[in-house]
Amino acid sequence: MMKNILALILFFLILNTGIALGQSDPFLRVEIDVKSDEAAFKIIPCNDKGVVFFYETTIKENDYKFWVFVLYNKYMQEAWKKDIPVFHNLTYRKHVYREGFLYILFHDEEKKKSETYNYQLMKLDLADGKYELFSGEVPNNAQISAIEVIGNSIFAGINTNQGHAALYRLDLNTKETKELSSYDFGSARFESFYLDTLNNSVMCLFNVFISKGTQYLLTDQYNAQGELLKSIKIIPEKGKKFNSGKLIAKGNDSWLLIGPYDYISGTTIPAKDYFRHQASGFYTINIHGNEVGKPSFNNFLDLENMTGYLKSREFETAKRKAEKSEKAKEKNSIDFNLLLHDIIKKDSLYYFVSEGYYEEYHTVTNTYYDYYGHPSPVSYSVFDGYKYFNAFVACYDENGNKLWDNGMEIFNILTLDLVNRVVVYFAGDEMVLAFNRQGKIGAKIIKGNEVIAGLDYFPVETSYNNDKIMEDTKSNMVYWYGNYFLTFGFQTIKNNTFNTKNKRKVFYINKIGFH
């Protein structure tokens, strides 16, 4: 019964490129022939304006290399195609879509002395494909962690290899790149942006480590002109540290901050352990004006619905020890590495979604022989990738009080790309959690802390009848617009009904809808 309910909620629309399948509704799918899954294709959904597909070519001219950009409209039909030159030393890093324009950042983290600029920002008009390119320089040996757009200002949060953080602004009118703030004392890390469209400002979150006994989060608010409006320091309770966080505006100069926290053994923590990703639970903090409310903490061991089906030995051992007393709980938590989603606001409630993962290795042992022929085994670990195992959902009221928690198991995702893979769709008071992997979409329906339909799998539809997916790699799923999502990746497909080309390798983009 539950399986039928989920099947009704999830349906697939797939485009057959040029082939009529004789069905009343057109399939919505794009296939691009490839030789391997090493092709560095990118897609960016841009609301109902369409989806931008782009990739780097091998064509070079002077100091430039050409990138191909294609806009598919919401019917998955090609609207325009452009070849755009970008400095040859730059790599695609980040993007932001705002009001019909796509802003794409290209950056070289290790600029050579002979090169004048180490980044270019492209402003792409989706209406006709016209573009502008803006060039500039930020610190060398740095990563641009995120960008945000307000009017003609581009804000960039930067983390350097030396453990410092900074905020930069590009003025599209003057084409000037300027540092707005820099945290080069102790160690610091830029965490996230939040765009406040009502007040035409941007909130920046930094995590600052001054010394073993002094650490805090810092929220800086800037207007569109790059002027600092306020700066708020958020100091953790004794014995805890903030790992990261996400901000969301509640209105009337009030904010809600949610993120993962961890425990500190003793009264101090060394710098080398401060910025690790492992967390023991979630915290919530209310901010009103310049006033910071008292943090609320939820240990993972208290989240029965979210973690109840985790049966690892580590989890069960920590849970048994924590049940002895509240004091023991703080010494015996379970640690998760988490990827954070932006906070979702719906009907005055706030939903915080994160994805748990761990690093997976395998051991390789080789035998070496000394001068006399005596064998000596030498073992070392090889990194296989990031293994996803769970999605966590927690719902809060506007005061940051947890109302319920839930989760979804994730299987068969081992990847070198650490990106969000779970999508969320609200159907009334129910929530659908889904992910795309190995040619199937895993989906689960929850309602608060209840499970309406357990995790089930549905095939990613292909272009032709009798297609058989032999391999599906580097697949993912992202929100598009309305109730529509995009699944994409590489597939090797076999179809024995074709006399020629009965096996093909493609990059695919499927449009799917939840109803």
Residue by residue, DSSP assigns 475-486 as: EEEEEEETTEEE
* Residue 184 pLDDT greater than 90, yes or no: no
Alpha-carbon distance of 362 to 15, in angstroms, equals: 41
Asked if the model's pLDDT at residue 2 lies above 60, the reply is no
Sorting pLDDT into bands at 50, 70 and 90, what band is 167?
very high
Residue with tokens 């009118």: 173
What pLDDT is recorded for position 311?
56
Whether the per-residue pLDDT at 412 is higher than 80: the answer is yes
* Residue 371: CB atoms within 10 Å: 5
Decide if 275 is inside a domain. Answer: no
Least confident stretch, 220-224, 231-235, 361-365: 361-365
The parent domain of residue 46 ranges over 37-137
**Is the residue at 55 inside a domain?**
yes
Burial class (CB in 10 A: 0-12, 13-18, 19+), 291: exposed
Q: What is the pLDDT of residue 114?
A: 65
How far is it, in rounded angstroms, from Cα 358 to Cα 385? 9
Residue 13: pLDDT band (50, 70, 90) is very low
* Torsion of Cα atoms, 302 then 423 then 257 then 430, to 10°: -60
Quote the number of domains for the chain.
Answer: 1
At 28-41, the pLDDT tens digits run: 999 999 999 999 99
State the CB neighbour count (10 A cutoff) for residue 195.
17
Is 104 a domain residue?
A: yes
What's the DSSP call for residue 238?
T
Residue 109: count of CB within 10 angstroms of its CB: 18
- Residue 186: which of 279, 269, 278, 292 has the closest Cα? 269
In a domain, 89, yes or no: yes
* Confidence (pLDDT) at 384: 93
Give the pLDDT score at 266.
72
The string of DSSP codes covering 355-380 is EEEEEEEEEEEEEEE-TT--EEEEEE
For 318-327, b/e burial (b = at least 16 CB within 10 A) is bbeebeeeee
- Residue 8: the pLDDT is 42
The residue to which tokens 């090609």 are assigned: 78
- In the chain, pLDDT over 90 holds for what percent of residues? 70
The Cα 155–Cα 193 span in angstroms is: 9
Given phi > 0 = left and psi -120 to 50 = alpha, else beta, which region is 491?
Answer: beta
Chain mean position to CA 321: 34
Residue 427 counted as domain residue = no
Average confidence score pLDDT of the chain: 88
Q: Is residue 406 part of a domain?
A: no
304 located within any domain: no
Instruction: Tell me the whole-structure pTM to 2 decimals.
Output: 0.89
pLDDT at 450 over 70: yes
Distance of alpha carbon 222 from alpha carbon 228, whole angstroms:
5
Query: What pLDDT, on a 0 to 100 scale, did the predictor assign at position 243?
Result: 94
Average pLDDT of the residues in 359-369: 90
Residue 347 lies in a domain: no
Long-range contacts of 118-126 (CB under 8 A, 24+ apart): 118/89, 118/90, 119/90, 119/144, 120/86, 120/87, 120/90, 121/154, 121/170, 122/84, 122/86, 123/172, 124/52, 124/69, 125/100, 125/101, 126/46, 126/49, 126/50, 126/52, 126/71, 126/100, 126/101, 126/102
Q: For 465-512, how does the pLDDT look when each residue is reduced to its tens digit (9 = 90+)?
A: 999 999 999 999 999 999 999 999 999 999 999 988 899 999 999 999
Alpha helices in 137-249 (DSSP H): none
Looking at residue 129, which CATH number applies to its domain?
Answer: 2.40.128
* Whole-Å CA distances, 225 to 98, 149, 171, 172, 222: 17, 11, 8, 11, 8
pLDDT in tens, 282-293: 999 999 999 999
Interval 15-32: pLDDT, tens:
333 222 222 235 699 999
